[in-house]
């Protein structure tokens, strides 16, 4: 016969693992019920908020449509710009992009600039998967900008721009989501047939630029900072120096604020402070951008997977 003392010890031994397991059940249940993160939780370049091309490229065979209405024009200009483009991941280390910037009169201010296309932009990026790995990510790229037609003169400076660059980034493992980078590039200008004028503290000839900074992805929030030094001394026809500081913030909108639309919608806010030959200039503004995977637009996205833009 099993003694009472033995049965008490046996019950205690069987109960001990159960006691440790029970507190973990709510956490496991909460983790299982937590909404799945979307596939893309990192921030890409948003002109006016975060202007730097990072080393990462679009996924292979992915075509992403990007719509970037500039709602700030409703109060600052008598026309509204709606840059629209695509970004295509050709393979695991190469992407190309193309953007057009149409504009039209919004009717809230006097004047009739008409309707048209202000500029064309093209880009290509190649990511080195071996060089400087595993500590650093490195890419080289080329951005092209061409004003076209007869847009409002304050829409462009009237010059074509050719901008090759190299960017090196490093993810800080001690701080998940934090990436530091250095982007170095050249800007070559050539006059086009489109009229325009330069803004204050804007380089008026060929220039060299270096931009260190960071982006901290804490989905759905993204925090950015860029510090750009630009000089026309080395390759330009004059001797001008510019220093621009640009902190920024972006937020991935939840689906309930986008009427459950597919894709990824971001709202951003940025501040710019520039010290240059025209003195100190500053500016701030907000942006909104929508990104859509092309296969979703054609109804071939995964069903029942609303969390993946």
Q: What is the per-residue pLDDT across 198-234, written as a single tens digit (0 to 9) for each?
A: 999 999 999 999 999 999 999 999 999 999 999 999 9
What is the sign, positive or negative, of the torsion defined by CA atoms of 9, 13, 14, 20? positive
Which residue blocks in the chain are alpha helix, DSSP H? 4-33, 73-76, 294-297
* DSSP assignment letter at 300: -
Could you tell me the residue ranges of all domains in the chain? 41-297
pLDDT at residue number 289: 92
Q: Which two tokens stand for residue 56?
A: 């990462």
Q: What is the per-residue pLDDT across 45-57, written as a single tens digit (0 to 9) for each?
A: 988 899 999 999 9
Percent of the chain with pLDDT over 70: 83
Phi-psi region of 98 (alpha: psi -120 to 50; beta: other; left: phi over 0): beta
Residues 81 and 68 sit within 8 Å (Cβ to Cβ): no
pLDDT at residue number 75: 85
- What is the Cα–Cα distance from 255 to 250, expressed in whole angstroms? 16
pLDDT at residue number 248: 97
Q: Kindly indicate the confidence band of residue 165, based on its pLDDT and cuts at 50, 70 and 90.
A: very high
- What is the Cα–Cα distance from 107 to 116, expressed in whole angstroms? 15
pLDDT at residue number 288: 92
3-state secondary structure at position 229: strand
pLDDT at residue number 19: 41
> What is the CB-side half-sphere exposure of residue 274 using CA atoms within 13 A?
21
pTM passes above 0.75: yes
Residues 290 and 67 sit within 8 Å (Cβ to Cβ): yes
pLDDT at residue number 38: 66
- What is the Cα–Cα distance from 56 to 139, expressed in whole angstroms? 8
Q: Which CATH superfamily is domain 41-297 in?
A: monomeric porin ompg (2.40.160.40)
Q: Kindly indicate the confidence band of residue 141, based on its pLDDT and cuts at 50, 70 and 90.
A: very high
């Amino acid at each position: 016969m099993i003694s009472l003392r033995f049965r008490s010890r046996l019950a205690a031994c069987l109960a001990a693992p159960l006691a440790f397991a029970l507190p973990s059940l709510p956490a496991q249940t909460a983790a299982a019920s937590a909404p799945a993160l979307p596939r893309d939780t990192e921030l890409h370049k948003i002109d006016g908020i975060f202007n730097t091309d990072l080393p990462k490229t679009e996924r292979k065979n992915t075509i992403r449509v990007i719509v970037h209405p500039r709602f700030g024009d409703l109060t600052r200009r008598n026309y509204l710009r709606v840059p629209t483009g695509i970004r295509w991941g050709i393979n695991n280390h190469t992407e190309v992009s193309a953007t057009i910037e149409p504009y039209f009169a919004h009717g809230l201010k006097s004047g009739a600039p008409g309707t048209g296309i202000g500029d064309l932009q093209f880009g290509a990026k190649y990511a080195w998967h071996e060089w400087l790995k595993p500590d650093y990510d490195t890419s080289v790229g080329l951005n092209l900008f061409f004003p076209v037609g007869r847009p409002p003169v304050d829409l462009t400076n009237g010059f074509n721009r050719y901008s090759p660059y190299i960017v090196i980034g490093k993810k800080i493992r001690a701080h998940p989501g934090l990436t530091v980078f250095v982007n170095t590039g050249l800007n070559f200008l050539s006059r086009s047939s489109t009229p325009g004028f330069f803004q204050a503290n804007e380089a008026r000839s060929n220039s060299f630029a270096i931009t260190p900074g960071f982006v901290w992805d804490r989905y759905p929030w993204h925090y950015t900072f860029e510090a750009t030094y630009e000089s026309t001394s080395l390759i330009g026809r004059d001797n001008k120096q510019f220093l621009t500081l640009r902190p920024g913030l972006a937020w991935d909108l939840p689906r309930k604020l986008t009427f459950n639309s597919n894709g990824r919608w971001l709202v951003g806010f940025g501040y710019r402070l520039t010290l240059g030959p025209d003195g100190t200039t500053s500016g701030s503004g907000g942006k909104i951008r929508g990104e859509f995977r092309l296969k979703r637009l054609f109804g071939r996205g995964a069903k029942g997977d609303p969390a993946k833009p």
